[in-house]
Structure 1
Amino acid sequence: MPEHKNQFSSANAPVRDEVGTAQAPAGPSGKSVQPASMVRLKLVDQMENAGSAKLMLIRAAAGFGKSTLLRQYRERCRATGRQTAWLSLEPTDNDLSRFISRLDACVGELDPEGLIEGGVLDTISDVEPVYTLLESIAGQARPFSILLDEFEVIQSPAVLNFIQQLLAALPPHGCLVIASRTAPEIGLGRIRARGQLLEVDPGALRFSLEETGTFLRETHRLQLDSGDIAALHRCTEGWIAALYLAALSLKGRDDPSAFIQSFSGSNLNLAAYLAEQILAQQSEECRRFLLQTSVLNRFCAPLCDALTGRNDSQAMIESLLRANLFLFPADEEQRWFRYHSLFAGFLQDVLERQTPGAARELHRAAAHWYLSVKQPIPAIDHLISAGDTDEAIAQLTEHLDDLVRGGLVRLLVRWLAQLPPAALGHSPRLQLASAWALVLCRRYQSAQEFIASYRPSPEIESARVILLACTDRMEEAYEFGQSLLRRLPTDDHFVYGLTANTMAYVMQATGHYEEARRLLSEAIPYVSQQGAGFMRNVAASVESILDLAQGRLGNALARLQAFTQQQADTAADNQFGAQISLDMIRSVTLYEVDDLEGAQRVLNEGLSYSIDSGVADALISSHVLLSRIAALRGDTVAGQRYLNDLETIGRDGGSSRIQCSAWMERTRVATLEGRLDAAQQALRQVEKYSDWDRPDVFMYSNDVDTPAITRLRLRVAQGQCAQSLDGLREAIAEAQGHSLMRRALKLRLLHALALDGAGRQTEAFDVLTEALQFASHEGFLRTFLDEGKRLAELLQRWAVTFQARSRSLGIAPGFLADLLKRLEPARQDSASDGGRDALTKRELQIIRLLADGCPIPEIATKLFLSENTVKTHIRNVSVKLGTHSRNESLAIARARGLLD
């Protein structure tokens, strides 16, 4: 926009804009250091193979390595026989005659063939030199590139017009390469539309994580571990000048990790660089806009207008974009933007020094704007930053139901941690939400301390029930919750709804099945319309869990399919918590009927939520099933990684059941692979963490995976078959007594193996027949398949005698044929590549944000996920694409069109 054209200055400055050579501000000696540069091989290759591009534009802010890339491209051209002409521009080149004179001298370095003899500036006219120079460039016979560095100094319409003429005059084998801090006004849209433009933008110029590691370890000889390198890469977002200045500061430090954790826009070297190279070069109006909007994590033009009192923020933002002043689009529509995190931190420091207290007022104005457009989440963020505790509490309370249903538990924990403890004293609902959020984040000790710090109230007592349930103290939760439900007023649907939901889970776990169904049915009329949807999700989950546990797999599948379809038809919003449980049980049923692709698809969609804030059952089901699916597809490394992640989560949260589940699966795998010594060692860990296992408590994720079943399987494999028979019969009777028919089926298969191993084949066949009779009418497949080769061999021997009589034995022949086919060894040895699922919607979001240059913390903030969850998604993407690094994943995703 014309009125802003001269607000953004990019005049030459002492510090060059080079990869690895961005100089620090001058020290006492008045000199700065020039370290070695690092070759940007992929970018140089891209430029060399630019095809029909007439213009290559390298554009970014200071310190992104534009000049170094230009030099490296020139070296490549020389090595391949392509001619080059280099011109570093100066402000005085805005005079057309001077520009043409200097360019002519530069072009004169090319092959003299085709040039006008005697030069082109011997005439008086200004017009003749222009056209003579254009003709000489057009007449070049050999491939060539003209390189113009620091083009941002050019603002003269006459010179810009000449550049457009030059582009039109270039022969097919000629190319113009421009390095600039700003986007030059030379009709880029037209050139782009013709397919004649190659752009190397800030995202491409940023160092990747691997390049950052090479730069720090090899170029600067710094001994840093991978965590430190990743942290520095994350905070610099690959900005080369910042990495260089950080590297200078790191030399000789005893505690590099502490420095890296504290590295920000207030770092003295970086602040001096930004002050001199960026801020000082801008107009007063531009500086004021930058400082005022620096308090915003993301911003759009209307929000900026509200903060600054302007009415032309859109034009200002567009000018900032053209000037490449560390401004990046934050959405695909380019309505929202953000500053580089270090640049924003620097601006915030300057704002506080120049105008103390101004940031609070700006945060307050931002909050009011967000509330006016009905976006309470960022409004609450700004209210807390402004110190408006009362208003923040009021907004939190007003929107609490939506926050809880949306599952924004980590956000709630972060907010509430920033509020004074006394602020929650008069808001019991927020006390409940705080405890609930802490529990779902698996911060059990913090939740216990929080609950103990308040006097008893219905909300605090409800929080206690949630804590007891999520720490597997089901009997206590049942007794205490029963008493609470009788005293709890039903008119507070928030408290009553959370309590009833928790108690349904507890009743199911303690065997009070009908009581759980009745509670959910009775609770629906007492909650809000959205709360009723939540309760229906919970009811569907409980019914499906009970159906599966009691052996009614067909019923569970039908109910889940119908409920899922109903949600799709009504476009119902997912109800957090209940939806996780519903998805997990759905994945278990799909896995049971050997629909591995369907199970993995559902698991991948829900994995991030279960990691972020899922109860133990969701975590165990998701990780164990994903581990099994990965192993079945030949990717044992990924399979073990899921179990390692599960164990880490359990250890960090202090959950013995989660840790035990990881070790039970390791024991199962080692047992089936015949690694019995390893299985015995793993079993010792199972026993160490088995305190949660009690006969009258049922945890659905451990329905067929208990310490007792794990122990019995290993004993049978070790040849202790006769000694295991009594224990197996007792376990079967106990499972049947609790109506756990799926567990009884699993135990019957182990019983059959034990009888066969004890030399009692006829009895083994009888038990196997009984198991097949039950399984065939419900479709249980993986219960058989997961017992591996020994059971497959026993079934094959059984089939020789009994397959022809299967119908008369009450066994569905189609099921039997299907099961025997799936038991073939080839099934277990299938290649991993053929079964990789497509990326999930969430994984696509994350890989696209990575491709846009977003660091992991920013991705986590945008998608309301934890950083660990984002990293898990990135690892899943790597597994699915078969890659070994983030850059490789991005390259494969780009090649497959996943980033379009």
Structure 2
Amino acid sequence: MNLDAGLCVFEGRDARRVEADKGDELQQAQHLLERLARISSPFVIMLDEFEVIQTPALVNFTRQMIENMPAGSVLVIASRSTPDIGLGRLRARGQLLDINPRALRFSFDETARFLQDNCQLALHDKEIATLYRCTEGWITAIYLASLSLQDRQDKAAFVASFSGSNLELAEYLTEDILLRQPEACRQFLLDSSVLSQLNVSLCAAVTGFSESDSADMLQGLERNNLFLVPLDSGHEWFRYHNLFASYLKGSLERRFPGRTQELHHRAAVWYLRQNRSVPAINHLLEGGAPGEAAEQIDLIITELTDAGRSHLLLRWVDRLPTDVLECYPRLCLAYAWSLALHRRYQQALGWVGRIEKWRREDGELFVREAQTIRCLVLVLTDRIEEGYQLCSQHIERMPEEEMFQYGSVANALAISMVATGRYDKAKRLLSRILLRNTQRNSNVMRTIAFGIEAVIDLLQGRLGTAIARLEVTMERNCEQSAGGFFGGKPSLDIISSLMLYELDELKEVKRRLSDAIPYAKESSPPDSLISCHILLARIAYLDGDRNGYERHLADLEQIGLQAGSSRIVCSAWLERTRTAILENRLDSAQVMLGSVEATGDWEEPDILFYANDVDVPSIARARLSIAKGEYTTTIDALNLAIKANRQKNLFRRLLKLRLLLALALDGLGDESQAFEEITEALRLASHEGFVRSFLDEGDALGALLQRWARVGRQACAGLGIEAHFLDRLLQRFADRSDQTAVTEKDQTDQQEVLTGRERQVIRFLAEGLSNKAIAEKMFLSVFTVKSHLRNINSKLGARGRTEAIAIARAQGLLK
């Protein structure tokens, strides 16, 4: 060792030479201790790869060296395993700085800086987050991934598929980790890799090691920091690092083909003995035993459905072969229910059709429940009249004791009645539901019934009654559930948010919907899904959060595409169109209206969905026509719509139509008639508090309302208008003008929005060039071209290259 420079590095593998010639080297070691004691100036000694030191004499020498270190000097030990040098005593004396593997992991920010700054990789935050989750901040894996990413075109696909089978990472794990372990340890690692969680007893059952040997193995792996992560404070349960587990599983399959299935079966047997069905079923499916898995699922099907674990049920049953599944009728029905609840409607109807064809001794019960599912799916897929007819017939055949099925059919029937304007029939049916559920104390069905009644109140303009009904229902349910979660709460939160939004209580709406949106995304009916996303998108837009606005609408559109629902998709484009009109991006709005009309086949004169009460393609057309100055034909269409909706008592929609008519009449120069429509609208709205119906039409309506107020404010009492409502409305329009500062660059010249590079990209796009061809012409990477295209779509309000080209052509950007 050379201490003259103040730093000495001693590698553990040098200890092998000490073991070879112990006499001379140990004498030198004693001499070194004496030298250390005489040194007066501070110094640092670093012992690297200390884990290879096994000789007790050398370990003892290290302890002595620590005791003889002069004040101010430092001993640095780098080791894969925890050295046996009295760390507890040093820690108690405050002489130890222990940097464990967890402390060495990169944070997300450190990972991002390393990849973007050090490695010069152009990755999106989402891709970095995926890589970070996969590697768990392990710098070696991050570095090896960065090497593989350097020359790859599709970096996102590589990141998504990165695992322990990556060539560079597998080589590192093989050479630096696995081959260094004894054969018994290697076999233990490979066999236990099939387990997502490990403890001593489970490892013994799966690997064939005794419990004593399994305990020693786990203790050794943890001590040597071999990617074993404790899951509890008592260090009884562990898991392997995700990448390490992935690598071990691949190695196991390559070295011992077919052994994986046997190991999974052993794990399943152990879990079943512990009465833990969920992990047992997971292992049976992984182990290629679908028959045994189906048997176990069928045993706990009631427990799963009662607990609402339909997502887990779907994940399992999706993996079962049809011939196996058909041997378990209850499971088939539960599967069909889960498919329907998760918007996989066509698959649900497929299973309903199978069940309806059964000819079994107990087949009638299964067929009746299958028809209940059919009723539900018809209504959820907007086949309203067909659903109404089937529900009406089916509910008459429903036995009194089948409460759940009766409630499901009754609520589907009530929804179809509301959608077709049969309000009196719906109310009578809801009264029957409430009476029936009061006798059986079923809160969920009662909650749903109250929610539907509140929707009828809203559609007919009784906003105050709707809110009061819902608040009383929620208070009662909260009391009965000790203030916690109760069945039907997310649905009530969404319906009540529609009412509160009209009152302009945006903070409360955001709070309720933030809690409800996971439910909405997972399994809510279409109207709840649409309402939740549209309201959150509008609030984000009003808060200036454009990314949040676009995210909510994109999520809604994606769910609609997955569910095959044109109404859900159309609802997202209706909101985009409305926003474009407000921002005076009329060419963009015209192109978006094409998307609306392409998916707007669900709008029918005799059917009204409450989520789209005031947001349908015909209203979007009227709004755009007014903004473009096409007043005459719009006035005629609005007058016809007003007459039809007045007859149906649809006062909320009637309010919206009158406001649009007032704008059209004012645009035509007929201020007198415009003021009359404003008067009628205020008369409808002021006593119930419909604020947002006015505010959502933007500054043009605000200006018209201010002009009306100059001549009509004094006459409010005689006109049946609440004066304080008018004052509040005018103040909110004034606040809106101060707060929203709507992007003026969008209102003037679209060419100023796109950068020079983006205009060049859109021109090449219009010529039919591919991303790769554009990249070559502009001397850019394909990744950069894709980034430009995303920006172009966002700025133009387009959802793809075809629409972007159409909008750019309309704006004159392609000249």
TM-score by length of 2: 0.75
After TM superposition, give the deviation of residue 131 of structure 1 in Å. Answer: 7.4
Aligned equivalents of 1:520 and 1:192: distance in 2?
Answer: 71
- Asked if the contact 1:550–1:741 (Cα under 8 Å) also holds between the matched residues in 2, the reply is yes
**What is the aligned length?**
721
Report the equivalent of 1:677: 587
| Equivalent-residue separation in structure 1 for 2:117 and 2:615 (angstroms) | 47
Kindly provide the CA deviation profile for residues 36-78 of structure 1, in whole angstroms up to 9, marking residues without a partner as x.
xxxxxxxxxxxxxxxxxxxxxxxxxxxxxxxxxxxxxxxxxxx
Amino acid at match of 2:176: Q
CA distance in 1, matches of 2:415, 2:348: 20
Report the equivalent of 2:710.
Answer: 800
Instruction: Report how far residue 786 of structure 1 moved.
Output: 0.8
Question: Is the contact made by 1:660 and 1:690 (CA closer than 8 Å) also made in structure 2?
Answer: yes
SS of corresponding position for 2:225: coil
* CA distance in structure 2 between the partners assigned to 1:97 and 1:192 by the alignment: 36
CA distance in 2 between partners of 1:684 and 1:623 (Å): 21
Q: Is the 8 A contact 1:623 1:642 kept in 2?
A: yes
Letter in 2 for 1:545: V
**Aligned pair 1:735/2:645, yes or no?**
yes
Change (3 A) 1:480 1:743: same
In structure 1, which of residues 293, 298, 316 is the aligned counterpart of residue 192 of structure 2?
A: 293
Q: Any residues of structure 2 matched to 1:495-574 within 5 Å, and which?
A: 495-516=405-426, 519=429, 522=432, 532-569=442-479, 570-571=481-482, 574=485
Q: Which residue of structure 2 lines up, in the alignment, with residue 400 of structure 1?
A: 301
The counterpart of 1:414, out of the listed 315, 323, 347, is: 315
Conserved 8 A contact 2:631-2:668: yes
Partner deviation per Cα, 1:176-217 (whole Å, 9 max, x = no partner): 654432345554798499697474635753585995897699
Q: Within 5 A, what are the aligned runs for 1:193-272?
A: 197=97, 199=99, 201-202=101-102, 204-206=104-106, 211=111, 235-237=134-136, 239-242=138-141, 264-265=163-164, 270-271=169-170
Deviations 1:270-327 (A, max 9, x none): 5554344333433566445434432222345665566566278677545433322222
Do structure 1's residue 819 and structure 2's residue 729 form an aligned pair? Answer: yes
Alpha-carbon separation, structure 2, partners of 1:482 and 1:318? 66
Whether the 8 Å contact between 2:537 and 2:550 is mirrored in structure 1 is yes
Partner of 1:76: none
Deviation at 1:372, TM superposition (A): 6.0
**Alignment partner of 1:472: what SS?**
coil
CA shift in 2, pair 1:94/1:319, >3 Å: farther
Matched ranges for 1:738-817 at <5 A:
738-817=648-727
Distance 1:764 1:772 in 2: 12
Q: Read off the aligned partner of 2:468 and give its amino acid letter.
A: A
Asked whether the 8 Å contact 2:478–2:484 carries over to 1, the reply is no
Partner residue, 2:603: 693
* CA distance in 1 between partners of 2:435 and 2:14 (Å): 75
TM-score (norm: length of structure 1):
0.69
Corresponding residue number in structure 2 for 1:660: 570
Long gaps (5+) in structure 2: 358-366, 743-815
Which residue number corresponds to residue 512 of structure 2?
A: 602
| Aligned residue number for residue 805 of structure 2 | none
C-alpha displacement at 1:706, in angstroms?
A: 0.9
Change in 2 beyond 3 A, CA 1:792/1:528: closer
Residues 406-449 of structure 1: CA deviation (Å, up to 9, x unaligned):
55444333211211101221333322332333344444444444
From 334, 346, 362, give the equivalent of 1:433.
Answer: 334
Instruction: State the SS of the aligned residue for 2:229.
Output: strand
**Aligned partners of 1:96 and 1:158 also within 8 Å:** no
* 1: CA distance, partners of 2:190 / 2:411: 48
Match of 1:706 among 606, 616, 619: 616
Q: Does 1:158 align with 2:60?
A: yes
For residue 695 of structure 1, give the secondary structure of its aligned residue in structure 2.
Answer: coil
Check the 8 A contact 2:375/2:391 in 1, yes or no: yes
In 2, the alpha carbon distance for the partners of 1:337 and 1:716 equals 65
8 Å contact from structure 1 (residues 493, 531) kept in 2: no
CA distance in 1, matches of 2:232, 2:681: 55
Q: Distance in 2 between matches of 1:307 and 1:823?
A: 69
Encode CA deviations 1:591-615: one digit per residue, 9 max, x unaligned. 2222222222222223233233333
Larger relative contact order (Cα-Cα within 8 Å, sequence gap ≥ 6): 1
Deviation at residue 151 of structure 1 after TM alignment: 3.6
Would the alpha carbon gap of residues 280 and 752 (structure 1) be closer, same or farther in structure 2, given more than 3 Å must change? same
C-alpha spacing 1:261/1:590, structure 2 compared with 1 (3 Å): closer
Q: Which residue of 2 aligns with 1:383?
A: 284
CA distance in structure 2 between the aligned counterparts of 1:434 and 1:198, rounded to whole angstroms: 52
Q: Name the stretch that deviates more: 467-476 or 528-537.
A: 528-537
**C-alpha deviation, 1:820, in angstroms:** 1.9
- The unaligned stretches of length 5 or more in structure 1 are 1-81, 103-120, 833-900
Q: Deviations over 1:346-378 (max 9, x none)?
A: 333455567666544543454455556665433
Counterpart position of 2:81: 182
Q: Does 1:344 pair with 2:245?
A: yes
CA contact (8 A) 1:306 1:369 kept: yes
Contact kept? 1:525, 1:532, Cα under 8 Å: no
Q: Do the aligned residues in 2 keep the contact of 1:94 with 1:159 (CA within 8 Å)?
A: no
Give the drift of 1:252. Answer: 8.6
1:281 matched residue in structure 2 = 180
Q: Does 1:486 align with 2:371?
A: no
Structure whose residues are more often helix by fraction: 2
Query: SS of the counterpart of 1:667?
Result: helix
**CA contact under 8 A between 2:48 and 2:77: conserved in structure 1?**
yes
What is the aligned partner in structure 2 of residue 468 from structure 1?
A: 378
Whole-Å Cα distance in 2 between the matches of residues 398 and 524 of structure 1? 33
Distance 1:95 1:529 in 2: 87
Q: 1:218 to 1:95 in 2, by over 3 A?
A: closer
What code does the residue aligned with 2:334 have? A
Aligned mates of 1:560, 1:375 — CA distance in 2: 40
Amino acid across the alignment from 1:201: P
Residue 824 of structure 1 aligns to a residue in which SS? helix
